[in-house]
Amino acid sequence: MKHFPVENPFLTPSADLEQPDTTAGLLPLSGLRLAVKDLFHMAGLPTSAGNPTWLATHPIPTQTASSVTALIEAGAEFCGKTITDELAYSLNGQNIHYGTLINPLTPNRLPGGSSSGSAIAVAKELADIGLGTDTGGSIRVPASYNGLFGLRPTHGIIAADNMVALAPSFDTVGLLTRDLATLTKAAKVLLSASASALPAHSINKVLIADNLINQVAHMAELKTQLANWRDKDLLPNEATLHIDTQAWQTSATFRTLQGAEIWQEHGEWVTLVTEHDKKAVFAPDIQTRFAWCDTLSGQEIQAAQQQRADFTDWLESELKEGVLIIPTTPGLSPLLEAAEADLAVYRNQLMDITAIAGLAGLPQLHLPVCTLNGAPCGLSLVGPKGSDLALIDFATHLME
Protein backbone atom coordinates (compact mmCIF):
# COMPACT_ATOMS: atom_id res chain seq x y z
CA MET A 1 0.00 0.00 0.00
CA LYS A 2 1.35 3.44 -0.90
CA HIS A 3 1.64 5.97 1.89
CA PHE A 4 1.04 9.68 1.66
CA PRO A 5 1.72 11.00 5.15
CA VAL A 6 -0.49 13.67 6.70
CA GLU A 7 0.05 15.58 9.92
CA ASN A 8 -3.44 16.89 10.64
CA PRO A 9 -5.62 14.21 12.28
CA PHE A 10 -8.79 16.29 11.98
CA LEU A 11 -11.10 15.47 9.10
CA THR A 12 -13.96 17.75 10.13
CA PRO A 13 -13.09 20.92 12.05
CA SER A 14 -15.04 22.05 15.05
CA ALA A 15 -18.42 23.47 14.12
CA ASP A 16 -20.45 26.11 15.92
CA LEU A 17 -21.97 23.55 18.25
CA GLU A 18 -23.67 24.58 21.44
CA GLN A 19 -21.17 24.19 24.28
CA PRO A 20 -22.02 24.25 27.99
CA ASP A 21 -20.93 27.24 30.06
CA THR A 22 -17.66 26.17 31.64
CA THR A 23 -16.56 29.58 32.84
CA ALA A 24 -17.31 28.69 36.44
CA GLY A 25 -15.10 25.62 36.16
CA LEU A 26 -17.69 23.47 37.92
CA LEU A 27 -18.01 20.80 35.24
CA PRO A 28 -15.72 17.74 35.49
CA LEU A 29 -14.24 18.10 32.00
CA SER A 30 -13.93 21.89 31.88
CA GLY A 31 -10.84 23.00 30.00
CA LEU A 32 -10.32 19.65 28.26
CA ARG A 33 -10.44 19.39 24.45
CA LEU A 34 -12.27 16.48 22.80
CA ALA A 35 -11.37 14.80 19.49
CA VAL A 36 -14.09 12.52 18.10
CA LYS A 37 -13.45 9.59 15.76
CA ASP A 38 -15.34 9.92 12.50
CA LEU A 39 -17.61 6.98 13.24
CA PHE A 40 -19.66 8.87 15.81
CA HIS A 41 -22.63 10.76 14.44
CA MET A 42 -22.91 14.42 15.35
CA ALA A 43 -25.98 16.34 14.29
CA GLY A 44 -25.22 18.59 11.34
CA LEU A 45 -21.77 17.14 10.66
CA PRO A 46 -21.01 14.46 8.05
CA THR A 47 -19.82 11.00 9.04
CA SER A 48 -17.45 9.49 6.47
CA ALA A 49 -16.44 6.32 8.35
CA GLY A 50 -13.10 6.73 6.60
CA ASN A 51 -14.47 6.21 3.09
CA PRO A 52 -15.67 8.83 0.55
CA THR A 53 -18.30 6.49 -0.90
CA TRP A 54 -19.81 5.95 2.53
CA LEU A 55 -19.92 9.71 2.92
CA ALA A 56 -21.62 10.15 -0.46
CA THR A 57 -24.23 7.43 0.12
CA HIS A 58 -25.35 8.38 3.64
CA PRO A 59 -27.19 11.49 4.84
CA ILE A 60 -25.77 14.01 7.28
CA PRO A 61 -26.80 12.85 10.76
CA THR A 62 -29.57 14.61 12.62
CA GLN A 63 -28.73 13.08 16.00
CA THR A 64 -25.57 12.95 18.11
CA ALA A 65 -24.08 9.88 19.79
CA SER A 66 -24.90 9.87 23.49
CA SER A 67 -21.25 9.37 24.41
CA VAL A 68 -20.31 12.58 22.58
CA THR A 69 -23.19 14.45 24.18
CA ALA A 70 -22.22 13.25 27.66
CA LEU A 71 -18.62 14.41 27.31
CA ILE A 72 -19.59 17.82 25.92
CA GLU A 73 -22.26 18.34 28.58
CA ALA A 74 -19.59 17.50 31.18
CA GLY A 75 -17.57 20.45 29.91
CA ALA A 76 -15.31 18.97 27.22
CA GLU A 77 -14.66 21.31 24.27
CA PHE A 78 -15.23 19.61 20.92
CA CYS A 79 -12.31 20.43 18.63
CA GLY A 80 -12.99 18.23 15.60
CA LYS A 81 -13.75 14.84 14.09
CA THR A 82 -10.74 12.70 13.28
CA ILE A 83 -9.54 10.36 10.56
CA THR A 84 -10.35 6.66 10.93
CA ASP A 85 -9.38 3.58 8.96
CA GLU A 86 -12.06 2.59 6.44
CA LEU A 87 -15.18 1.49 8.32
CA ALA A 88 -12.79 0.86 11.26
CA TYR A 89 -11.75 -2.45 9.68
CA SER A 90 -8.00 -2.16 10.30
CA LEU A 91 -5.45 -1.83 13.09
CA ASN A 92 -2.78 -0.04 11.05
CA GLY A 93 -3.85 3.59 10.87
CA GLN A 94 -3.60 3.72 7.08
CA ASN A 95 -6.21 5.33 4.86
CA ILE A 96 -5.76 5.47 1.09
CA HIS A 97 -8.31 8.29 0.84
CA TYR A 98 -7.33 10.62 3.68
CA GLY A 99 -3.71 9.65 4.29
CA THR A 100 -1.59 7.80 6.83
CA LEU A 101 -1.09 9.97 9.88
CA ILE A 102 2.44 10.61 11.09
CA ASN A 103 3.21 8.93 14.39
CA PRO A 104 4.70 11.85 16.38
CA LEU A 105 6.94 9.60 18.49
CA THR A 106 8.21 7.28 15.76
CA PRO A 107 7.55 8.86 12.34
CA ASN A 108 8.94 5.80 10.55
CA ARG A 109 6.29 3.53 12.07
CA LEU A 110 2.53 3.11 11.68
CA PRO A 111 0.30 5.19 13.96
CA GLY A 112 -2.10 2.31 14.65
CA GLY A 113 -5.80 2.20 13.89
CA SER A 114 -8.61 2.42 13.51
CA SER A 115 -8.83 5.22 16.10
CA SER A 116 -5.63 6.67 14.64
CA GLY A 117 -6.91 10.22 14.29
CA SER A 118 -8.06 10.51 17.88
CA ALA A 119 -4.81 8.94 19.10
CA ILE A 120 -2.61 11.29 17.08
CA ALA A 121 -4.66 14.33 18.14
CA VAL A 122 -4.00 13.44 21.78
CA ALA A 123 -0.36 12.43 21.24
CA LYS A 124 0.35 15.75 19.50
CA GLU A 125 -1.45 17.64 22.29
CA LEU A 126 -4.09 18.94 19.89
CA ALA A 127 -6.70 17.36 22.16
CA ASP A 128 -6.81 16.02 25.71
CA ILE A 129 -9.45 13.31 25.27
CA GLY A 130 -9.61 11.07 22.23
CA LEU A 131 -12.98 9.40 21.76
CA GLY A 132 -12.74 6.27 19.66
CA THR A 133 -14.04 2.77 19.23
CA ASP A 134 -12.45 -0.59 19.94
CA THR A 135 -13.73 -3.72 18.23
CA GLY A 136 -10.57 -5.75 17.68
CA GLY A 137 -8.04 -3.44 19.35
CA SER A 138 -8.60 0.00 17.86
CA ILE A 139 -8.13 1.86 21.15
CA ARG A 140 -5.50 -0.39 22.70
CA VAL A 141 -3.23 -0.66 19.66
CA PRO A 142 -2.87 3.07 18.82
CA ALA A 143 -2.51 3.73 22.56
CA SER A 144 0.47 1.38 22.60
CA TYR A 145 2.02 2.80 19.44
CA ASN A 146 1.68 6.43 20.60
CA GLY A 147 2.54 6.18 24.29
CA LEU A 148 -1.01 6.86 25.54
CA PHE A 149 -3.39 5.44 28.11
CA GLY A 150 -6.22 3.62 26.36
CA LEU A 151 -9.41 2.13 27.82
CA ARG A 152 -11.53 -0.47 26.08
CA PRO A 153 -14.48 -0.73 28.50
CA THR A 154 -16.65 -3.68 29.39
CA HIS A 155 -18.69 -4.49 26.30
CA GLY A 156 -22.04 -2.71 26.44
CA ILE A 157 -21.30 -0.59 29.50
CA ILE A 158 -21.11 2.59 27.37
CA ALA A 159 -23.92 3.01 24.84
CA ALA A 160 -22.85 2.66 21.20
CA ASP A 161 -25.83 4.51 19.71
CA ASN A 162 -25.79 6.86 16.72
CA MET A 163 -22.55 5.66 15.25
CA VAL A 164 -21.33 3.45 12.42
CA ALA A 165 -21.17 -0.10 13.75
CA LEU A 166 -18.58 -2.66 12.70
CA ALA A 167 -19.34 -5.85 14.65
CA PRO A 168 -21.89 -5.03 17.38
CA SER A 169 -21.14 -7.90 19.76
CA PHE A 170 -17.53 -6.64 19.96
CA ASP A 171 -17.90 -2.86 19.39
CA THR A 172 -17.06 -0.65 22.36
CA VAL A 173 -16.72 3.10 22.91
CA GLY A 174 -13.24 3.82 24.26
CA LEU A 175 -10.97 6.62 25.47
CA LEU A 176 -7.41 7.79 24.80
CA THR A 177 -5.52 10.24 27.03
CA ARG A 178 -1.97 11.27 27.89
CA ASP A 179 -2.49 10.81 31.63
CA LEU A 180 -4.58 8.74 34.01
CA ALA A 181 -6.16 11.71 35.75
CA THR A 182 -7.83 12.82 32.53
CA LEU A 183 -8.82 9.25 31.68
CA THR A 184 -10.40 8.87 35.11
CA LYS A 185 -12.48 12.03 34.70
CA ALA A 186 -13.72 11.10 31.22
CA ALA A 187 -14.40 7.47 32.16
CA LYS A 188 -16.47 8.49 35.17
CA VAL A 189 -18.60 10.69 32.93
CA LEU A 190 -19.29 7.90 30.43
CA LEU A 191 -19.66 5.16 33.03
CA SER A 192 -21.78 7.10 35.50
CA ALA A 193 -25.10 6.03 34.02
CA SER A 194 -24.40 2.32 34.26
CA ALA A 195 -21.60 1.77 36.76
CA SER A 196 -23.89 2.15 39.76
CA ALA A 197 -25.93 -0.82 38.55
CA LEU A 198 -22.85 -3.05 38.40
CA PRO A 199 -21.20 -4.78 41.36
CA ALA A 200 -18.10 -3.05 42.70
CA HIS A 201 -14.90 -4.99 42.16
CA SER A 202 -11.78 -4.84 44.25
CA ILE A 203 -8.46 -6.15 42.96
CA ASN A 204 -7.55 -9.01 45.29
CA LYS A 205 -5.08 -10.84 43.08
CA VAL A 206 -2.89 -10.30 40.07
CA LEU A 207 -2.44 -12.88 37.33
CA ILE A 208 0.56 -12.57 35.01
CA ALA A 209 0.27 -14.09 31.53
CA ASP A 210 3.93 -15.13 31.60
CA ASN A 211 3.82 -17.18 28.42
CA LEU A 212 2.46 -14.24 26.41
CA ILE A 213 5.04 -11.86 27.85
CA ASN A 214 7.78 -14.34 26.97
CA GLN A 215 6.63 -14.37 23.35
CA VAL A 216 6.75 -10.64 22.62
CA ALA A 217 9.61 -8.63 21.20
CA HIS A 218 9.76 -6.29 24.20
CA MET A 219 9.82 -9.11 26.78
CA ALA A 220 12.82 -7.74 28.72
CA GLU A 221 11.27 -4.29 29.11
CA LEU A 222 7.97 -5.73 30.36
CA LYS A 223 9.70 -8.02 32.83
CA THR A 224 11.70 -5.09 34.18
CA GLN A 225 8.51 -3.14 34.77
CA LEU A 226 6.89 -6.09 36.54
CA ALA A 227 9.99 -6.48 38.71
CA ASN A 228 9.73 -2.81 39.70
CA TRP A 229 6.14 -3.29 40.79
CA ARG A 230 7.09 -6.41 42.74
CA ASP A 231 9.85 -4.56 44.52
CA LYS A 232 7.27 -2.00 45.66
CA ASP A 233 4.85 -4.76 46.71
CA LEU A 234 2.17 -3.53 44.29
CA LEU A 235 1.07 -6.95 42.94
CA PRO A 236 -1.10 -8.62 45.60
CA ASN A 237 -1.41 -12.43 45.61
CA GLU A 238 0.54 -12.65 42.36
CA ALA A 239 0.21 -15.82 40.30
CA THR A 240 0.69 -16.86 36.69
CA LEU A 241 -1.99 -17.70 34.15
CA HIS A 242 -1.03 -19.60 31.03
CA ILE A 243 -3.18 -18.50 28.10
CA ASP A 244 -2.60 -20.76 25.11
CA THR A 245 -3.88 -18.52 22.33
CA GLN A 246 -3.05 -21.16 19.73
CA ALA A 247 -5.07 -23.87 21.46
CA TRP A 248 -7.95 -21.47 22.07
CA GLN A 249 -7.60 -20.13 18.51
CA THR A 250 -8.31 -16.66 19.83
CA SER A 251 -7.41 -14.78 16.65
CA ALA A 252 -9.21 -17.15 14.28
CA THR A 253 -12.29 -17.32 16.50
CA PHE A 254 -12.48 -13.56 16.83
CA ARG A 255 -11.90 -12.88 13.14
CA THR A 256 -14.57 -15.39 12.11
CA LEU A 257 -17.24 -13.94 14.39
CA GLN A 258 -16.24 -10.38 13.62
CA GLY A 259 -16.29 -11.09 9.88
CA ALA A 260 -19.74 -12.62 10.08
CA GLU A 261 -21.11 -9.59 11.91
CA ILE A 262 -19.38 -7.16 9.56
CA TRP A 263 -20.96 -8.81 6.56
CA GLN A 264 -24.36 -8.77 8.24
CA GLU A 265 -23.92 -5.05 8.96
CA HIS A 266 -22.34 -3.89 5.72
CA GLY A 267 -22.41 -6.73 3.19
CA GLU A 268 -25.38 -5.37 1.26
CA TRP A 269 -23.82 -1.90 1.00
CA VAL A 270 -20.36 -3.22 0.08
CA THR A 271 -21.87 -5.40 -2.63
CA LEU A 272 -23.97 -2.55 -3.99
CA VAL A 273 -21.16 -0.02 -4.26
CA THR A 274 -18.50 -2.41 -5.53
CA GLU A 275 -20.37 -4.76 -7.87
CA HIS A 276 -23.32 -2.69 -9.01
CA ASP A 277 -22.47 1.00 -8.83
CA LYS A 278 -18.71 0.46 -9.28
CA LYS A 279 -18.15 3.53 -7.11
CA ALA A 280 -16.30 2.40 -4.02
CA VAL A 281 -12.58 2.01 -3.74
CA PHE A 282 -11.24 0.25 -0.67
CA ALA A 283 -7.68 -0.36 0.41
CA PRO A 284 -6.54 -3.73 -0.98
CA ASP A 285 -6.25 -5.37 2.46
CA ILE A 286 -9.69 -4.18 3.51
CA GLN A 287 -11.24 -5.23 0.20
CA THR A 288 -9.70 -8.68 0.67
CA ARG A 289 -11.17 -8.94 4.16
CA PHE A 290 -14.62 -7.89 2.93
CA ALA A 291 -14.47 -10.60 0.26
CA TRP A 292 -13.42 -13.15 2.90
CA CYS A 293 -16.35 -12.17 5.14
CA ASP A 294 -18.72 -13.17 2.36
CA THR A 295 -17.28 -16.71 2.27
CA LEU A 296 -17.90 -17.62 5.93
CA SER A 297 -20.14 -20.63 6.33
CA GLY A 298 -22.76 -21.25 8.99
CA GLN A 299 -20.73 -24.19 10.25
CA GLU A 300 -17.63 -22.03 10.72
CA ILE A 301 -19.63 -19.38 12.55
CA GLN A 302 -21.34 -21.91 14.82
CA ALA A 303 -18.02 -23.51 15.75
CA ALA A 304 -16.53 -20.09 16.52
CA GLN A 305 -19.52 -19.18 18.68
CA GLN A 306 -19.01 -22.31 20.76
CA GLN A 307 -15.28 -21.63 21.03
CA ARG A 308 -16.02 -18.10 22.20
CA ALA A 309 -18.43 -19.34 24.86
CA ASP A 310 -15.95 -21.91 26.16
CA PHE A 311 -13.08 -19.41 26.27
CA THR A 312 -15.21 -16.80 28.00
CA ASP A 313 -16.36 -19.26 30.68
CA TRP A 314 -12.77 -20.34 31.32
CA LEU A 315 -11.31 -16.84 31.48
CA GLU A 316 -14.08 -15.47 33.71
CA SER A 317 -13.63 -18.36 36.13
CA GLU A 318 -9.89 -17.63 36.33
CA LEU A 319 -10.26 -13.88 36.80
CA LYS A 320 -13.10 -13.50 39.26
CA GLU A 321 -11.99 -10.51 41.39
CA GLY A 322 -8.48 -10.43 40.00
CA VAL A 323 -6.69 -8.51 37.29
CA LEU A 324 -4.78 -10.08 34.40
CA ILE A 325 -1.59 -8.47 33.10
CA ILE A 326 -0.80 -9.12 29.44
CA PRO A 327 1.29 -7.45 26.73
CA THR A 328 -0.85 -5.09 24.66
CA THR A 329 0.85 -5.93 21.36
CA PRO A 330 3.31 -8.60 20.20
CA GLY A 331 5.88 -5.96 19.26
CA LEU A 332 6.51 -2.37 18.36
CA SER A 333 4.45 -0.60 15.76
CA PRO A 334 5.35 -1.99 12.31
CA LEU A 335 7.54 0.11 10.06
CA LEU A 336 5.80 2.11 7.34
CA GLU A 337 7.63 0.17 4.62
CA ALA A 338 6.60 -3.23 6.00
CA ALA A 339 5.38 -5.58 3.25
CA GLU A 340 1.67 -6.37 3.01
CA ALA A 341 2.36 -10.06 3.67
CA ASP A 342 4.32 -9.23 6.82
CA LEU A 343 1.56 -6.93 8.04
CA ALA A 344 -0.99 -9.71 7.53
CA VAL A 345 1.08 -12.13 9.63
CA TYR A 346 1.58 -9.49 12.32
CA ARG A 347 -2.17 -8.73 12.35
CA ASN A 348 -2.94 -12.35 13.25
CA GLN A 349 -0.32 -12.32 16.02
CA LEU A 350 -1.71 -9.04 17.30
CA MET A 351 -5.28 -10.28 17.35
CA ASP A 352 -4.24 -13.39 19.26
CA ILE A 353 -3.63 -10.96 22.14
CA THR A 354 -6.32 -8.32 21.59
CA ALA A 355 -8.99 -11.03 21.17
CA ILE A 356 -8.55 -12.13 24.78
CA ALA A 357 -10.60 -9.24 26.16
CA GLY A 358 -12.61 -8.91 22.95
CA LEU A 359 -14.02 -12.43 22.94
CA ALA A 360 -14.98 -12.28 26.62
CA GLY A 361 -16.29 -8.70 26.55
CA LEU A 362 -13.91 -7.66 29.34
CA PRO A 363 -12.45 -4.22 30.07
CA GLN A 364 -8.80 -3.65 29.19
CA LEU A 365 -6.58 -0.69 30.04
CA HIS A 366 -3.27 -0.06 28.26
CA LEU A 367 -0.45 1.44 30.32
CA PRO A 368 2.40 3.14 28.42
CA VAL A 369 5.13 1.95 30.76
CA CYS A 370 7.93 0.88 28.41
CA THR A 371 10.00 1.92 25.43
CA LEU A 372 12.22 -0.13 23.16
CA ASN A 373 14.73 1.62 20.89
CA GLY A 374 12.86 4.85 21.46
CA ALA A 375 9.48 3.39 20.46
CA PRO A 376 6.63 3.11 23.00
CA CYS A 377 5.13 -0.17 24.17
CA GLY A 378 3.50 -1.36 27.34
CA LEU A 379 1.32 -3.64 29.40
CA SER A 380 -2.43 -4.02 29.74
CA LEU A 381 -4.68 -4.71 32.69
CA VAL A 382 -7.71 -6.92 31.97
CA GLY A 383 -10.42 -7.23 34.59
CA PRO A 384 -13.81 -8.88 35.14
CA LYS A 385 -16.89 -7.38 33.55
CA GLY A 386 -17.86 -4.15 35.26
CA SER A 387 -14.45 -3.58 36.84
CA ASP A 388 -13.60 -0.61 34.60
CA LEU A 389 -13.20 1.97 37.36
CA ALA A 390 -11.42 -0.53 39.60
CA LEU A 391 -8.91 -1.13 36.78
CA ILE A 392 -8.27 2.60 36.52
CA ASP A 393 -7.86 2.88 40.31
CA PHE A 394 -5.42 -0.03 40.33
CA ALA A 395 -3.49 1.47 37.42
CA THR A 396 -3.25 4.77 39.30
CA HIS A 397 -1.84 2.85 42.28
CA LEU A 398 0.75 1.18 40.01
CA MET A 399 1.74 4.36 38.21
CA GLU A 400 2.21 6.40 41.37
| 262 phi/psi in degrees, rounded to 5 | -60, -45
Per CATH, the number for 5-195 is: 3.90.1300.10
Instruction: State residue 12's pLDDT score.
Output: 82
DSSP letters for 47-107: --TT-HHHHHTSPPPSS--HHHHHHHHTT-EEEEEE--SGGG--SS---TTT-EEPPSS-T
Instruction: State residue 200's pLDDT score.
Output: 55
Instruction: State residue 22's pLDDT score.
Output: 54
**C-beta separation of 265 from 166 below 8 A:** yes
The ranges assigned to domains in the chain are 5-195, 205-249+303-399
Q: Give catalytic residues, as residue numbers.
A: 37, 114, 138
Instruction: State residue 355's pLDDT score.
Output: 98
Q: pLDDT (tens digit, 0 to 9) for every residue of the chain, 400 residues total?
A: 567 899 999 998 775 566 666 555 689 999 999 999 999 999 999 999 999 999 999 999 999 999 999 999 999 999 999 999 999 999 999 999 999 999 999 999 999 999 999 999 999 999 999 999 999 999 999 999 999 999 999 999 999 999 999 999 999 999 999 999 999 999 999 997 665 545 556 789 999 999 999 999 999 999 999 999 999 999 999 999 999 999 999 999 999 999 999 999 999 999 999 887 777 789 999 999 999 999 999 999 999 999 999 999 999 999 988 999 999 999 999 999 999 999 999 999 999 999 999 999 999 999 999 999 999 999 999 999 999 999 999 999 999 8
| Residue 272: exposure state from Cβ atoms within 10 A (0-12, 13-18, ≥19) | middle
Instruction: State residue 160's pLDDT score.
Output: 97
